[in-house]
Structure 1
Amino acid sequence: MFAGSKTVSSERNDYIMKATGIVRRIDDLGRVVIPKEIRRTMRIREGTPLEIYTSVDGEVIFRKYSPVGEISGTADQYADVLYKVGGMPTVICDRDHVIAASGIQKKEVLERRVSSSLEDLIEQRKSLYRTADGVKMNPIEGVDRFAVACAPIMADGDVNGAVIMLSDKENSAVDEKTKALVEAAAMYFGKQMEDV
């Protein structure tokens, strides 16, 4: 455990809360500014939803909210189906981390951060379908696999994550079936989040 840190439990995760040494005052409208370095490190941008927790000790904890993470059980099952039908490793991520995977060792990818390339792609609300001679995009930091098909998950006009099929082979290109599977999955998750 880190000096000056506490272990904090939430419903979904246990994590370590580490003091930054930064103190901010609340203004007359009840606002507090999150320092730029923390926003950059934690990938918090304007419009990023934050969930607020309180403890009996008087702590206020801000945590990035992930609508995709809320349906992770369904995401696990859907990733399994996509892998079985599409025949390629499949991952489902929120805007920051992989939350479900199939066809690849889960310990290799779960909770890993998405790459800045994938982050930019989904921020622009774009899909990616690789052709045989297309540019390779590695969607997950520290994982040497590239995306064959990727579609953003949209709900209520917001981008919440992506559905990605990964290549096992050097020259894999997407076919119409794979493209349709990924697009249908992304639409399904978007609908699930809107109905919650």
Structure 2
Amino acid sequence: MKATGIVRRIDDLGRVVIPKEIRRTMRIREGEPLEIFVDRDGEVILKKYSPIGELGEFAQEYVESLAEVTGHIACVLDRDAIVAVAGAKKKVFIDKPISKKAEEILNSRETKVINQETEDIFCEGIYGEDYSSFTAQVLAPIIADGDAIGLVALASTKGGEEMGDLEVKLANTAAGFLAKQMES
């Protein structure tokens, strides 16, 4: 754990203010849920709550099926990071932060198809390896209980490939299915 050097007092209602710099760095927005953990040493730990994180194993199995059927890289992203990946090296993608572009697509709540070579549309910091650019991508928002909570992404690194209606339908189906799992 990393110390910040910032000290805050608890008010008479039991509240503590998380400093703006920390909220900005950690991408914590107003009204966003936080999980509270306590350990045996008396430490209180606040962690951003990821509803998609609750489906981690299930999401991983789903993207493995998608990658197998399509031959593309398949990922599930929550509002902050990639939580499941198949069709590529996991260590390159897992827990990487989502990009500003992915955040815009998530907030637009519309499926986006990108059929041109681009770098890092859905995540930041994927350089080197075989994934420095993608030739085609589909990003479908996961909307549960009226909230956009994540994305399903299909991506290709193979030259000349394009995402068509089939990939869009598969990504939207996956997003809809994961949303239903969150609601039940």
User: Normalized against structure 1, the TM-score is what?
Assistant: 0.83
Q: Is the 8 A contact 1:148 1:172 kept in 2?
A: no
Q: CA RMSD in A?
A: 1.9
In 2, Cα distance between equivalents of 1:138 and 1:176: 20
Q: Is the 8 A contact 1:130 1:136 kept in 2?
A: no
Q: How many residues align?
A: 178
Query: Shift in Å at residue 169 of structure 1?
Result: 2.7
SS, match of residue 69 in structure 2? helix
Post-superposition CA distance 1:74-96 (Å, at most 9, x none): 11111011112222111111111
Verify the 8 A CA contact 1:145 1:166 in the aligned structure 2: no
Q: How many angstroms does 1:50 deviate by?
A: 0.4
Q: SS of the counterpart of 1:71?
A: helix
CA distance in 2 between counterparts of 1:35 and 1:110 reads 28
* Secondary structure at 2:110 match in 1: coil
| 1:83 and 2:28 aligned | no
Residue matched to 1:108: 92
In the alignment, what sits opposite 2:129? none
Give SS of 1:77's match: helix
1:193 aligned partner, one-letter code: M
Residues 56 and 107 of structure 1: is their aligned pair in 2 closer, same or farther, counting only changes over 3 Å?
A: closer
Q: Among 150, 153, 162, which residue is 2:139 paired with?
A: 150
Q: 2: CA distance between counterparts of 1:121 and 1:98?
A: 15
| Residue equivalent to 1:28 | 12
What CA distance in whole angstroms lies between the structure 2 residues aligned with 1:165 and 1:111?
A: 17
Specify the alignment match of 1:44 in structure 2.
28
Secondary structure of the residue that 1:76 maps to in structure 2? helix
Structure 1, unaligned runs of 5 or more? 1-16
Gaps of at least 5 residues in structure 2 are: 127-131
- Structural mapping, 1:175-194, within 5 Å: 175-194=164-183
The Cα of 1:100 is off from its aligned counterpart by: 1.0
CA contact (8 A) 1:89 1:166 kept: yes
CA deviation vs aligned residue, 1:147-176 (integer Å, no higher than 9, x gap): 610011111122221100012234433211
Runs of 4+ in 1 over 3 A off after TM superposition: 134-137
Amino acid at match of 2:169: A
The residue aligned with 1:12 is: none
Q: Could you give the per-residue CA deviations for residues 96-139 of structure 1, whole angstroms, max 9, x where no partner exists?
A: 1111111111111111111121122212323211245x977621
Residue 141 of structure 1 corresponds to which residue in structure 2?
A: 124
Write the letter of the residue equivalent to 1:145: S
- The 3 A distance-change label for structure 1 pair 58 and 136 is closer
Q: Which amino acid aligns with 1:32?
A: V
Deviations, residues 9-58 of structure 1 (Å, cap 9, x unaligned): xxxxxxxx111111112223322211111011101011221001122332
